[in-house]
Amino acid sequence: MGKFYLTTPIYYPSDNLHIGHAYTTVVADALARYHRQIGDDTYFLTGADEHGQKIQRRAMAAGKSPQGFVDEIVAGIRELWSLLRISHNDFIRTTEERHARRVQAIFQHLYEQGDIYKSEYEGWYCTPCETFWLERQLVEGKCPDCGEEVEKIREESYFFRLSKYAGRLLEHIETHPEFIQPVSRKNEMVNNFLRPGLEDLCVSRTTFSWGISVPFDTKHVVYVWLDALTNYITALGYPDDPGLFQRYWPADLHLVGKEIVRFHTIIWPIILMALDLPLPRQVFGHGWLVLDGGKISKSKGNVIDPVVLVDKYGLDAVRYYLLREVPFGADGTYSEEALVLRINNDLANDLGNLLHRTVAMIEKFAGGAVPAPAGYEPLDEEVIREADLARQGLAEGLEKLEVSTALSSIFRLVEKTNKYIDTAAPWALNKEGRRERLATVLFTMAESLRITAVLLVPFLVETPQKIWNQLGLNGDPVALKPETGAVWGGFPGGTRVRKGRPLFPRIELKPAEAKGKEKERETAPQKPEITIEEFARLDLRVARVLKAERIKGTDKLLQLIVTLGGEERRLVAGIGQHYEPSSLVGREIVVAVNLKPAKIRGVLSQGMLLAASNGEELALVVPEKPVGEGAGVK
């Protein structure tokens, strides 16, 4: 147990935030929730960086005051974080009085000790990036970051002696390999910026007024670095209110996008050195969530609104996708198809299905009460081992900030438990009256889910409690530490399950455009009449596909495992040329269940699924809305 102080960048409220900002903040939130769960004294800061010429210009264009302009956008940011259930402890705005006053004190202090001096600036300025560039840094005369036109400017400015501390910083970076992560970003900083030598930094401007004024020279406003970067300490009360500052500084983690690693690993540590303050333990520069090969940006018109996604797919589905899809540190590609696939495969088919099967079988075979286990066999021990690995995977993954890896170790447990059910076949144990073995298997299923719920606490905000409720458990999984609460055997005896709604409804993708030209169909002649009694002999039921795979040696036949609610069946179906096996999992189909079992290609088929065909196209016959497996078809 210790303390953990982490920050996101403070976002620039010139526009509403998009999915890329949501990504950074959800990752930070997962880390904060994890550190709280393991008992660390955790402080999580986010906020908004509200000054600068760009905001002033945009406000003017919108006919608003700069403050009125940012107030509106910041209100939207706060709503978004509330929607995504971001658990920050503080939200700092650089327009707040507490921040402005502290920035002025820092500026004054650095000026008095000679680290800030007045001179004249001449150079190139990129307005969209609010960055000064030297002639040699321009790329074909344009901004090296965004590629926009730059303006030549000359003005009186205050400068910060960056150069004075370059040697000390280089030494710190070399002796603290964890300081800049991933390591590729460290090499870039050292080779591209530190070794060629640092220029002193322009820290005031006179060409616009939307900023914090320099206390002893009020025609200047403090220019971005000393205003924005210092939020990480002013929010803690530095320098005049040291309570939180003494408790949490230095930061354990500044989470930043890769485009601002340079400011956080060169300018920021030097500001701290000049203030004689300890440096943050780690700056982690993560990749971007990109779209169509490009960074998501307003100017590219490819922004994805997280509010719309949450509305359409649900909060935990969107959080899961953001945390799972992108290997943290690298760039990830956003696509709605990938999001839907994640929801359907991982959340609906794997996790949702596991809970559904477990609760249904405990109701059907054990009267709704989770039985006590009666001795473990090697098959059960494999699940127990996977649960241990999932708990270790969570700790190791999140210590290394490999959020996606941590999540996949939890979902390996889910997958393993689903396979375990297929092999252990509780329905067969029930039929054979093997009560003790059945008790162990049902317990193992429930206990694996209980552990999964505890391990998912940092990532998903509604699902762990929903799993908890359906398992009939009391209390709150959030209150349990993984190292004690996610250890095998903790399921209280006699707990009664409470069947609930599916955790994650499957998302139906729009059917593909009908292929090929319409042509005249030959209608088959009608078969001889039958009576209603004859029809009633056919037992048709709704089944849900749990698993589908191709049968080797044929591209026509698929083997499906379906559930009829409690009971599972194996079917062989000649639909392999029309359906990909993975597209069937989770779907409700109609099955003739009292057809005499038949062996097809060595596989015993216990029923037949219904499909419509015109000789070319084939379509499954399915209930028009979900009715639940086992429902009769008349």
User: What mask, x for binding Zn ion by CB under 5 A, covers residues 148 to 187?
Assistant: x---------------------------------------
CB of 126 or CB of 354, closer to Zn ion: 126
Are the CB atoms for 460 and 320 separated by under 8 Å?
A: yes
CB of 125 or CB of 249, closer to Zn ion: 125
Please give the angle made by the CA atoms of 245, 251 and 252, to the nearest 5 degrees: 140
Q: What are the Cα distances from residue 266, in Å, to 170, 238, 244, 255, 272?
A: 9, 21, 25, 15, 10
User: What mask, x for binding Zn ion by CB under 5 A, covers residues 478 to 517?
Assistant: ----------------------------------------
CB of 35 or CB of 205, closer to Zn ion: 205
Runs of H (alpha helix) within 314-434: 315-325, 336-342, 353-366, 378-399, 403-424, 426-431
Compute the least distance from the CB of residue 127 to Zn ion, in Å. Answer: 8
Compute the least distance from the CB of residue 296 to Zn ion, in Å. Answer: 16
From candidates 48, 70, 80, 126, binder to Zn ion by CB under 5 A: 126
Note whether 259 binds Zn ion by CB under 5 A.
Answer: no
CB of 14 or CB of 440, closer to Zn ion: 14
Are the CB atoms for 548 and 581 separated by under 8 Å?
A: yes
Compute the least distance from the CB of residue 402 to Zn ion, in Å. Answer: 32
CB of 9 or CB of 482, closer to Zn ion: 9
CB of 148 or CB of 508, closer to Zn ion: 148
CB of 146 or CB of 384, closer to Zn ion: 146
Residues in contact with Zn ion, counted by CB under 5 A, come to a total of 7
Q: State which H helix or E strand residue 212 sits in.
A: none
Are the CB atoms for 287 and 330 separated by under 8 Å?
A: yes
Region binding Zn ion by CB under 5 A among candidate stretches 49-57, 126-134, 389-397, 566-574: 126-134
Compute the least distance from the CB of residue 151 to Zn ion, in Å. Answer: 11
CB of 149 or CB of 241, closer to Zn ion: 149
- The DSSP annotation for 388-402 comes to HHHHHHHHHHHHTT-
Region binding Zn ion by CB under 5 A among candidate stretches 123-131, 293-301, 422-430, 508-516: 123-131
Q: What are the Cα distances from residue 172, in Å, to 46, 189, 450, 544?
A: 26, 13, 45, 59
CB of 262 or CB of 547, closer to Zn ion: 262
Compute the least distance from the CB of residue 130 to Zn ion, in Å. Answer: 8
Distance, CA of 513 to CA of 335 (rounded, Å): 20
Beta-carbon contacts of 535 under 8 Å, excluding residues fewer than 6 positions away, are: none
Residue 104's SS3 state is helix
Compute the least distance from the CB of residue 152 to Zn ion, in Å. Answer: 15
Residue 557's SS3 state is coil
Q: Per CB under 5 A, which of residues 539..578 are in contact with Zn ion?
A: none
- The DSSP annotation for 466-516 comes to HHHHHTT--S-GGGS-HHHHTSTT-PPTTPBP---S-SSPPPPPPPPPPPS
Compute the least distance from the CB of residue 129 to Zn ion, in Å. Answer: 3
Work out whether the CA dihedral 448, 454, 458, 460 comes out positive or negative: positive
Compute the least distance from the CB of residue 563 to Zn ion, in Å. Answer: 56
Work out whether the CA dihedral 475, 476, 477, 480 comes out positive or negative: negative
Beta-carbon contacts of 260 under 8 Å, excluding residues fewer than 6 positions away, are: 9, 285
Q: Per CB under 5 A, which of residues 130..149 are in contact with Zn ion?
A: 143, 145-146, 148
From candidates 83, 105, 129, 369, binder to Zn ion by CB under 5 A: 129
Compute the least distance from the CB of residue 146 to Zn ion, in Å. Answer: 3
Distance, CA of 460 to CA of 470 (rounded, Å): 16
Q: Per CB under 5 A, which of residues 290..329 are in contact with Zn ion?
A: none
State the pairing for strand pair 116-126/151-160.
antiparallel
Compute the least distance from the CB of residue 57 to Zn ion, in Å. Answer: 14
Binding site for Zn ion (CB under 5 A): 126, 128-129, 143, 145-146, 148
